[in-house]
Amino acid sequence: MNITRFGARGSERPAIITPDGQRRDCSSLVRDWDGASLANQAVEGLRAMPAERLLALPPVPPEERWASCVARPGKVVCVGLNYADHAAEAKLPVPSEPILFMKATTAVCGPYDDVQMPPAATKLDWEVELGVIIGQEARHLSSLAAATACIAGYCVVHDVSERAFQIERGGQWTKGKSCDTFCPVGPWCRSADAMPDVQALDMRLSVNGIRRQNGSTRTMIFPPAFLVQYISGFMTLEPGDLISTGTPPGVAMGMAVPQWLQRGDVVELEIDGLGRQCQRIA
């Protein structure tokens, strides 16, 4: 099942995407796609309903804004250098353990919202990433099977990055990752049971129609279940939390002459089976 949200900022409502491709308002059945609903297995409850009941839910008008597919998470945990070919591009060794950093939850926005370029930004970069949505509390997990059971679903995440803030302002990655709108999420979250092999997904990103990233989760060093288990040893993952699992090669920082994002640029990104995002740099 694919879940999503719609509506103006601060007034978002939950929806599902039915097999006919229509967004349908499910706010009569679910309060919101937040941690509480995920923990209470609301997705499973809807999936068990007769198809005709779901198709009878009111359609969402096409002009309605696509919001982040889950409500603002309690935390956004990101993984750096998690693709072997991206590590090579960055001329950095493949890490022996996952590199973790945080992104402010205020950075989360919808998949088609404008990315707001901070006034002081000079090196704005793009990164298409596979997102993992947590569905059950994860703390000191002892197996990959237990970690897999804690995953509610998967989505597209754009890990927008300001490299000068990240690298030249004290080496604090979180500084360059946390500006408002630096974490578009969606357009939908596909439930884990409906996903094909998450380590065989093609990923693409274009800037102004020019392909910049063309990768695959096949080159991911630490796969999603391992990351959930690993992170649970350092912090409790709660329902609704988001893990952004790293990016394949092709970022601006890896170019011989970086072509940083500028105001007016349009970034389009997608992952097989998880939909497409599009943002204008504003």
- Measure the CA–CA gap between 198 and 215, rounded to whole angstroms: 13
Together in a domain, 27 and 57: yes
Residue 170, phi then psi, degrees to nearest 5 = 100, 5
Residues in Cβ contact with 96 at an 8 Å cutoff, skipping those fewer than 6 apart: none
Same domain (yes/no): 39, 123: no
- How many Cβ atoms from other residues are within 10 Å of residue 266's Cβ? 13
At 149, which amino acid appears? A
Tell me: do 61 and 76 sit in the same domain. Answer: no
Beta strands 266-271; 275-280: pairing state: antiparallel
Q: What CATH number does the domain containing 95 carry?
A: 3.90.850.10
The 3 state secondary structure assigned to 111-178 is CCCCECCCCCCCCEECCEEEEEEECCCECCCCCHHHHHHCEEEEEEEECCEEHHHHHCCCCCHHHHCC
Q: 107 with 51, same domain?
A: no
SS3 state at 281: strand
Q: Which domain holds residue 141?
A: 70-280
Do 95 and 48 belong to one domain?
no
User: Where does a domain end: 23, 38, 66?
Assistant: 66
pLDDT band at 75 (very low <50, low <70, confident <90, very high): very high
pLDDT over 90 at 70, yes or no: yes
pLDDT digits (tens, 9 = 90+) for 168-202: 988 788 999 999 999 999 999 999 999 989 999 99
- What pLDDT score does 87 carry? 83
Say yes or no: 124 and 235 in one domain: yes
Pair 81, 192 in one domain: yes
State whether 101 and 9 are in the same domain. no
The per-residue DSSP string of 20-53 comes to TS-EEE-TTT-S-SSHHHHHTTHHHHHHTS-HHH
Same domain, 27 and 132: no
Task: Give me 78's structure tokens.
Answer: 């990101």
Q: Are residues 38 and 107 in the same domain?
A: no
Residues 59 and 137 in one domain: no
Last residue of a domain, one of 13, 34, 66: 66
Same domain membership, residue 78 and residue 51: no
pTM score of the predicted model: 0.96
* Domain boundary pick from 46, 66, 86: 66
- pLDDT-derived band at 281 (thresholds 50, 70, 90) equals very high
The per-residue pLDDT for range 144-171, each reduced to its tens digit, is 999 999 999 999 999 999 999 999 988 7
Task: Tell me the pLDDT tens digit for each residue of 124-146.
Answer: 999 999 999 999 999 999 999 99
The tally of CA atoms less than 13 A away on the side-chain side of residue 237 is: 33
Q: How many domains is the chain partitioned into structurally?
A: 2
User: Looking at beta carbons, which pairs linking 116-120 to residues 24 or more positions away fall under 8 Å?
Assistant: 116/179, 116/180, 116/181, 116/282, 117/261, 117/263, 117/281, 117/282, 118/162, 118/165, 118/179, 120/165
